[in-house]
């Protein structure tokens, strides 16, 4: 469990988590740490302590998924409101949508983790991501912004509970097909596996956060060294 408490209060039912503020506050303030460098990586990091025998799921309800999208500004305020109403009015369908979103999240992790370590990418994970990207592409359109043209999203006029997973999938595709894909890293902390973009000049960043995983490893090395020194002193 990540131990650094947030500076903003959380609801009493929320698990304590470190929060490096990013995006905008959701309904209960800043609930998610946005340190990945891309929305898709922040989405992957909603499963904490991934490689331990007790991973911590941050997206336990459909409302959590909407809160993540609100904080990251992956969708508009109007879309946030529409999806919140959907979650209240159709709870079973909303939870099914959450399950689909977490399945896509795991596909994104599998693909990006493999890319970060130059491993072969599993076909099923890539196929699942590609299918979601294809759905997302049908909602893209070109628009004018000032004197330039840019890609934009068609506004959601009818509720689509898979909107957030499509935005996350598109973010992953955009990252993986860009030069920045070479900077995807997986945290070296035991059990962590958070993904992030290494923007350091020498591309040597190893930890999702030096104050958490980095310090944890440093502390272990220090105590191991001291233990060896003490053992040597009594020989």
The predicted pLDDT at position 191 comes to 87
Q: Which CATH class is domain 39-206?
A: mainly alpha
Q: Indicate the average pLDDT of the chain.
A: 83
Confidence label for 145 from pLDDT (cuts 50, 70 and 90): confident
Alpha-carbon distance 230 to 224, whole Å?
10
- Domain segments of the chain: what residues? 39-206
Question: pTM for this one?
Answer: 0.80
Q: Tell me the CA distances in angstroms from 218 to 29, 140, 185, 211, one per residue in order.
A: 32, 46, 19, 10
Tokens 């929320």: give the residue: 14
């Amino acid at each position: 469990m990540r131990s650094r408490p947030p500076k903003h209060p959380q609801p009493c039912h929320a698990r304590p988590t470190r929060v490096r503020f990013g995006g905008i506050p959701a309904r209960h303030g800043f609930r998610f740490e946005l340190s990945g460098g891309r929305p898709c990586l922040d989405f992957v990091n909603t499963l904490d302590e991934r490689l331990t025998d007790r991973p911590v799921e941050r997206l336990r309800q459909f409302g959590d998924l909407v809160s993540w999208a609100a904080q990251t500004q992956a969708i508009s305020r109007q879309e946030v409101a529409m999806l919140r109403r959907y979650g209240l009015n159709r709870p079973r369908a909303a939870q099914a949508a959450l399950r689909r979103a977490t399945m896509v999240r795991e596909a994104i992790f599998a693909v990006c983790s493999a890319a970060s370590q130059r491993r072969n990418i599993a076909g099923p994970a890539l196929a699942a991501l590609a299918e979601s990207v294809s759905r997302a592409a049908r909602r893209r359109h070109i628009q004018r912004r000032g004197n330039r043209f840019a890609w934009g999203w068609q506004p959601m006029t009818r509720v689509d509970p898979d909107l957030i997973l499509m935005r996350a999938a598109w973010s992953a595709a955009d990252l993986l097909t860009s030069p920045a894909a070479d900077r995807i890293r997986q945290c070296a902390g035991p059990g962590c596996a958070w993904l992030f973009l290494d923007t350091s000049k020498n591309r040597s960043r190893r930890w999702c956060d030096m104050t958490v995983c980095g310090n944890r490893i440093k502390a272990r090395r220090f105590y191991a060294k001291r233990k060896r020194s003490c053992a040597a002193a009594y020989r």
